[in-house]
C-alpha cells in the first residue's frame, strides 16, 4: 500500500489517509443517505446527506480508535510505531516489530477488539437513552452496530485478523516457535478468506444482494492475500535463521562526493560504476548519506546541472542501516516494514556494503537448491524471537480494521 496524506499526529504517531479512503467514504455516505437514515427519522435531503457524511467520518474515527489501541499497547511494550493509515478497507498500523512473547502478542492483538467493544457498548447505552426517530438516535445506533461488528469480525481466528494473531500467540506458546505458529495461523487466514469468497458467491446468487456479495468477496480475497503474504514471510524467516547480514551483503562499487552536480553524478559515477546506489562520503571517508538512481529520477532533470548530490541524497540520520553481524531476518523485516529495497550496512560509522531484497531471494534460492533450507523438525523450538509482522488493519463492509505490519489487519 502506498503512502497516504498525513492529517494528524496523535500520541507521537503519524495518522495518514490513503487516497483509496475517499472511495469508501463516498460509498458509505451514499449508502447511509440513500437507505439507512431515511428509515430512521424524517429530515430534508440536505440534512440527511450532512449526517451521512458525519457518520462516515465517525466510522473511520472508530477504526482509528481501534488502531490506536494496538499502537499504544505496542508503545507501552517498547515497540516503536511508525504510523497509522486509513485506507479502503479500514486502517493499518505500521509497527516496527512484533511483541517479544506470546502473552504480549495476545494483549496487543486483543487491544483493538476490546476498544471497539467498549465503544460499541457505550453507543448501545446511548441508543437506549435517546429518543427514537431523532438524528442522534440514528447516529448512535449505527455507531453501536459498526463498532460491535468491528470487534466480532476482527476476533475471527484468521490471521492476520486480530483473532488470528491471538491464535498465533497460543500456537507460539505451545510450540515455542513463532515462525511455525505464524505459518499455521496464516493457513487459517487463507481458509477463512476462501470461505468468505464462497459465502459471497452464495450471497449474490441466493439473496441477490450484489453489493454485499462484492464487499464480502473483496474482503475475503484481501484476507487470502494478506495471510499468504504472512506465510511467505514466515518461510523466509525460517530460511534466514542463524544467517548474519554480512553473508548477504554486497560491497559498494565506489563512493561519491556530495558537492558534485547530479549530471556529473549520473555520467561519471552511476553509469561508469554501473551501480544503483552509492554512499556519499566526505574527504575523510565518513559516511554522509546515500544516493540512488531513484533519487536522480525524482529530481527535475532540467536542474541536474545545478542541483548537487547532497541536495537529493538520503542523509545519514534518515538512512535505514543495519550492522554486519545483525541477523539477516531482522534486516529482511526492516526492508518489509520500511518499504525500501535495500539497507546500508554500517560498521563504526563507515558504510561497508548493502543488503537488499534481491540478495535475500538469492540466498533463499541457493539454500533451497542445496537442501539447506528445510522446515524445522516438528516440535523443535528453533527460536523465540518474534517473526516479521505484516501490516495490520482491514475491515468488514462498511467498517473496519485490524491490527500490517505494517501492524495491520483486516477489520
CA 2-405-102 angle, to 5 degrees, is 175
Per DSSP, the three-state class of 277 is strand
Q: 287 has which bridge partners?
A: 281
* Cβ contacts of 231 within 8 Å, gap of 6 or more: 182, 183, 186, 187, 190
pTM of the model: 0.69
> Domain extents for the chain?
5-174, 246-370
Q: 14 vs 11, 92, 94, 162, CA distance in Å?
A: 9, 12, 10, 22
CATH of span 246-370: 3.10.580.10
CB of 349 within 8 A of CB of 336? no
pLDDT tens digits, the chain, 411 residues: what are they? 556 788 888 988 889 888 888 888 888 899 899 888 888 887 788 989 999 999 999 998 999 999 999 999 999 998 888 888 888 777 888 787 777 789 999 999 999 999 999 999 999 999 999 888 888 999 999 999 999 999 998 998 888 889 999 999 999 999 988 878 888 898 999 999 999 899 888 877 777 667 778 878 888 898 898 888 888 877 777 778 788 988 888 887 888 999 899 999 999 998 888 888 888 888 777 788 888 888 898 888 888 999 999 899 988 888 888 888 888 888 887 787 777 777 888 887 777 888 888 888 888 777 666 554 444 333 333 333 333 333 333 333 333 333 334 444 344
Amino acid at each position: 500500500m502506498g503512502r497516504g496524506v498525513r492529517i494528524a499526529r496523535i500520541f507521537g504517531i503519524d495518522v495518514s489517509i490513503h487516497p483509496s479512503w475517499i472511495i469508501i467514504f463516498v460509498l458509505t455516505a451514499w449508502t447511509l443517505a440513500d437507505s439507512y437514515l431515511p428509515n430512521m427519522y424524517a429530515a430534508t435531503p440536505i440534512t440527511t446527506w450532512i449526517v451521512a457524511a458525519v457518520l462516515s467520518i465517525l466510522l473511520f474515527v472508530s477504526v482509528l480508535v481501534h488502531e490506536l489501541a494496538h499502537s499504544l499497547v505496542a508503545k507501552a511494550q517498547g515497540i516503536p510505531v511508525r504510523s497509522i493509515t486509513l485506507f479502503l478497507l479500514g486502517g493499518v498500523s505500521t509497527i516496527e516489530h512484533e511483541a517479544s512473547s506470546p502473552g504480549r502478542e495476545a494483549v496487543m492483538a486483543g487491544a483493538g477488539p476490546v476498544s471497539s467493544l467498549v465503544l460499541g457498548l457505550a453507543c448501545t447505552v446511548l441508543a437506549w437513552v435517546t429518543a427514537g426517530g431523532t438524528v442522534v438516535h440514528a447516529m448512535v445506533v449505527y455507531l453501536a452496530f459498526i463498532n460491535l461488528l468491528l470487534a466480532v469480525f476482527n476476533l475471527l481466528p484468521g490471521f492476520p485478523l486480530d483473532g488470528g494473531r491471538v491464535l498465533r500467540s497460543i500456537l507460539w506458546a505451545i510450540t515455542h516457535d513463532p515462525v511455525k505458529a505464524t505459518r499455521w495461523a496464516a493457513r487459517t487466514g487463507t481458509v477463512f478468506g476462501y470461505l468468505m469468497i464462497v459465502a459471497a458467491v452464495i450471497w449474490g446468487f441466493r439473496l441477490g444482494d450484489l453489493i454485499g456479495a462484492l464487499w464480502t468477496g473483496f474482503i475475503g480475497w484481501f484476507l487470502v492475500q494478506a495471510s499468504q503474504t504472512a506465510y511467505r514471510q514466515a518461510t523466509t524467516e525460517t530460511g534466514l535463521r542463524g544467517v548474519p547480514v554480512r553473508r548477504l551483503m554486497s560491497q559498494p562499487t565506489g563512493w561519491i562526493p556530495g558537492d558534485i552536480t547530479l549530471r556529473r553524478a549520473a555520467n561519471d559515477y552511476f553509469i561508469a560504476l554501473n551501480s544503483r546506489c552509492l554512499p556519499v562520503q566526505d574527504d575523510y571517508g565518513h559516511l554522509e548519506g546515500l544516493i540512488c538512481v531513484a533519487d536522480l529520477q525524482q529530481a527535475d532533470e532540467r536542474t541536474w546541472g545545478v542541483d548537487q548530490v547532497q541536495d537529493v541524497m538520503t542523509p545519514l540520520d534518515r538512512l535505514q542501516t543495519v550492522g554486519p553481524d545483525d541477523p539477516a531476518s531482522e534486516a529482511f523485516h526492516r526492508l518489509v516494514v520500511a518499504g525500501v529495497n535495500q539497507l546500508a550496512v554500517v560498521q563504526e560509522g563507515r558504510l561497508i556494503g548493502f543488503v537488499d531484497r534481491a540478495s535475500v531471494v538469492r540466498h533463499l534460492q541457493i539454500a533451497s537448491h542445496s537442501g539447506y533450507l528445510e522446515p524445522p523438525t516438528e516440535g523443535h523450538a528453533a527460536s523465540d524471537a518474534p517473526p516479521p509482522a505484516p501490516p495490520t488493519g482491514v475491515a468488514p463492509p462498511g467498517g473496519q480494521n485490524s491490527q500490517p505490519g505494517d501492524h495491520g489487519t483486516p477489520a
